[in-house]
A and B are shown apart, each in its own frame.
Chain A
């Protein structure tokens, strides 16, 4: 059995990243788009932590904590916008959010 190296983790992260990108680019439902962004951020985090282990220092882990903070902020604001939008337009589909005003 081959030992698990950094490369393995990178492959997983890349797969998650691509899945997230597909979700962002193709789905209509804003909630799912936001969730896909979380997938992307998680893939990045995984990379950071894997590199942190590869180089033997903790900068990557600290960075991944910052990314988590960012994800929390993004989720809060994104869902806030979503609710405000839904109240006015009663839709949560991205391709119907095509006006700059309402």
Chain B
């Protein structure tokens, strides 16, 4: 089979031991199969090389980079302001979060602080975006496991969020909502009312998703004890976000290192116990409800005042370096910026949650079946734009 196009044995792949001579495939022999980059369940262009024994997964190897655009390198040749829209293109389903992290990082570097009103707007939009991201995750994850219908329900409701974004800043997906030092736009007339309407609209919808899935026997069988990762393993692998919290670690940067206005709100950190796919599902569903709580508080208490801090037209942060991270929907999104005092970053490094969480894939799927690989890829909630940058 050496001349077959599926042969990958010429690649030096570390943990798969692909160098062993190919044997005819009986159950004692391994089957090497390429999942992706063109595959319906790899959420874009992830390529997973699976080493199978029958249908049992003996090992995986992720091949990434099909969507690499050199975002970090681009940052070195753009001014701080010019680079701001680029971060939206990383995790494009949670563009607002990306923008928040970047703006706050640069603000920290420049030692300015956004005004209170801007912070509240940021929180509202970011939490809305978290709900949108989780909704998209839920739809695609359920689709991967074979439930087609939730996808359309979640997309219907995500649409309302995107409408709010569109009204606020004119864009739906890659919003570029925030600026360094605050927000560019004041909220439009009726913003608060619409957000409140959305809150009352979406709360029963989340119940609706849960009705479809949470007690569904097949859903439980497909997700319980699938892709289990222990708290220790998760921490060792640097996993963050809902995946970590589902393993029972109560770690949320919104509480641990409050940024924006998060210290002023009252919300819980939902955690799981088993660290399996079902717990991750429950954690994310609970997170959507917590986000609603945060938004409600923020909308009710939103202060009046300016929305932009005093920031010079040409941003020239002092020499130094900064690491700032926020709790993006998928986990810890960190920006490490080295400034040499010029208008452009000397070096900018992103710590994308998807990329780090993807490391856990191998740990999670070893010994499971092919169908579980799909479920686990879905449950990690990766966005390839962010993995590859």
Interface positions of A (Cβ within 8 A of B): 83, 86-87, 90
Give bound CA distance, A90 to B28, whole Å: 11
A87 to B27, CA, bound (A): 8
B24 → chain A, closest Cβ, in Å?
6
Q: Which residue of B lies closest to A91 (CB)?
A: B24
A87 to B24, CA, bound (A): 10
Cβ-based interface call for B314 (8 A) = no
- Could you tell me which B residues sit within 8 Å of A by CB distance? 23-24, 26-28
**Which residues of A have CB within 8 Å of B28?**
87
Residue in A closest to B28 when the chains form the complex, CB atoms: A87
Residues of B within 8 A of A87 (CB): 26-28
Q: Top 8 A-B pairs ranked by shortest CB distance?
A: A87-B28, A87-B26, A86-B26, A90-B24, A83-B26, A90-B23, A87-B27, A86-B24
A90 to B26, CA, bound (A): 10
The answer for the CA separation of A60 and B45 in the assembled complex, in Å, is: 63
Q: How far is the CA of A83 from the CA of B54 in the complex (A)?
A: 14
Could you list 8 examples of A-B contacts with CB < 8 Å? A83-B26, A86-B24, A86-B26, A87-B26, A87-B27, A87-B28, A90-B23, A90-B24
Closest residue of A by beta carbon distance from B27:
A87
CB closest chain-B residue, reference A83:
B26
Contact residues of A: prevailing secondary structure:
helix
Main SS of the interface on chain B? Answer: loop
Min C-beta distance of A65 to chain B, whole Å: 33
**B24 neighbours in A (Cβ, 8 Å):** 86, 90
Q: Which residues of A contact B27 (CB under 8 A)?
A: 87
Q: How far is the CB of B53 from chain A (nearest CB, A)?
A: 13
CA distance A87 to B25 in the complex (A): 10
For B23, what are the chain A residues with a Cβ–Cβ distance below 8 Å? 90
Give complex CA distance A87, B26 in Å. Answer: 7
A90-B24 Cα distance, complex, nearest whole Å: 8
A66 to B305, CA, bound (A): 93
CA distance A87 to B28 in the complex (A): 7
- For the complex formed, measure the closest distance between the CB of B46 and the CB atoms of chain A, giving whole angstroms: 34
Specify the chain B residue showing the minimal Cβ separation from A88.
B28
Q: How far is the CB of B228 from chain A (nearest CB, A)?
A: 31
- State in angstroms the CA–CA spacing of A75 and B157 once bound together: 57
Q: A87-B26, A87-B27, A90-B23 are in contact. List 4 more A-B contacts (CB 8 A).
A: A83-B26, A86-B24, A86-B26, A87-B28
A28 CB to nearest B CB, Å: 16
CA distance A24 to B26 in the complex (A): 25
A86 CB contacts on chain B under 8 angstroms: 24, 26
| B24 closest partner in A (C-beta) | A90
Docked pose: A13 CA to B27 CA in angstroms: 38
Chain B residues with CB under 8 Å of A90's CB are 23-24
Q: How far is the CA of A87 from the CA of B23 in the complex (A)?
A: 10
Q: How far is the CA of A87 from the CA of B54 in the complex (A)?
A: 14
Chain B residues contacting A83 (CB-CB under 8 Å) are 26
For A90, give the chain B residue with the smallest CB separation.
B24
Measured in the bound complex, the distance between the Cα atoms of B27 and A75 in whole Å is 20
Q: Could you tell me the distance between the alpha carbons of A38 and B165 in the complex, rounded to whole angstroms?
A: 70
Please measure, in the bound complex, the distance between the C-alpha atom of A83 and the C-alpha atom of B23, giving whole angstroms.
Answer: 15
Of chain B, the residue at the smallest CB distance from A86 is B26
Distance in angstroms from B349 CB to nearest chain A CB is 50
A10 to B206, CA, bound (A): 73
CA distance A2 to B32 in the complex (A): 60
Tell me the minimal C-beta distance from B25 to chain A in angstroms.
11
